[in-house]
Amino acid sequence: MEEQSDAARDGGRVLRFPVREATRPVAQRDLPPIGGSALLVGDAQDALAGLLAEHAGSVRAALLDPPYNTASRFHHYDDSLSHDAWLAERREHFALVRELLREDGSLWVHLDDSEMHYGKVMLDTLFGRSNFVATVVWQKTRSRENRTDLSTTHEYVLVFAKDRRAWAAARNLLPFGEEQLGRYRNPDGDPRGPWTSGDLTAKAGPGRRASQFYDVVTPSGRVVRPAKGMAWRYTRERFDELLADGRITFGDGAQMPRLKRFLSETKGGLVPTTWWPGLEVGTTDTAKKHLRRLFPDLVPFETPKPEELALRVLRIATDPGDLVLDCYAGSGTTPAVAHKSGRRWIAVERERRTVDEFLLPRLDRVVAGEDPWGVTAETGWTGGGDFALLDLAEVSGELAR
């Protein structure tokens, strides 16, 4: 086996990353620079520490799906630790992840009710409460479980920024879908193109000026005014300017005035919400169906995430060419989606059985353009690129010598 000549360091310790024999031909590769993608086989703690020398401050987004600590033993991994041990391990890992993030970078962590609230408090201490962005609620299933007292149909994604201001300035809006685009029409043939309308009233609280309380005469001659406790959003002077510019619509001529908002003048997308329904971003069922198509002869991976969910995160938090990190790679959803969407990625997985059965074959098929499912069509992916395959198995032995 060839070894990396340039060492990554962890508190003075030299960590070397031997290249592992893969199920496909692999050219000689060293630990890749920022310009490459890599799959690391081994413990997350060792991998994250070893990455600091080359990649500190380089990761745009970390999308992590750690063990939930559900006290369950799955076919492919054991998800049972004491609460204190689980929390301590996550703290160690997330502290290293924070060092790897760019200033405009962000951490997205999947959790369920088992440890979500404790994880939130722990991350508050690592990142600072001011850098907490939101808790996304994901509809993991659209089915009802009738064998329990309450049917749990959701999980969470905790979102933290390394620096909230830097992240907010750099984050992306979501593209318009067919539903949103369908709201824009041009019934009056406005030369500025399709438009939708918005409410022109607002609550009449402190800060409202007297010039925001006035009557408006509609084209039909009807006199209208805001409801009790409400005011016009604009002063009379500004309202008249908008009216003269053709930006006010009265519907059939007798309705309350509304502001025309043109599609051509939007900022390019939608501000993401925190409710992500399964119809939009997939469910555990769609994720399992995807893996069954890829690997019909294997025992299904129990807890995969859908590619559509990962793609939404990456579209918000990254741009093509950015570096994405996943230190709990599992069945490979994050690196697969990062690759298909033109992002660079580093993925880490400690379970060799998972790597051999799911992760490596899945990524090989993505590179070869042989995975037609998931977000392949949405991203226009046809194959290409490559990644380094690195094994941490011999690190401890090398250190001992």
Q: What are the pLDDT digits (tens) for 217-264?
A: 999 999 999 999 999 999 999 999 999 999 999 999 999 999 999 998
Given this model, what pLDDT does residue 148 score? Answer: 81
Q: What is the pTM of this model?
A: 0.77
Structure tokens at 87: 């929390």
Q: What is the pLDDT at residue 281? A: 96
Residues 321-349, mean pLDDT to the nearest whole number:
96
Contacts of 377 (CB under 8 A, 6+ apart): none
Residue with tokens 């750099």: 170
Average per-residue pLDDT for the chain? 86
295-319 tens-digit pLDDT: 998 877 877 899 999 999 999 999 9
pLDDT at 398: 45
DSSP letter at 35 equals T
Q: What is the pLDDT of residue 29?
A: 32
Ranking 107-121, 259-273, 329-343 by mean pLDDT, the lowest is 259-273
Would you state the structure tokens that stand for residue 65, as one six-digit string? 């799906």
Q: What pLDDT shows up at residue 75?
A: 54
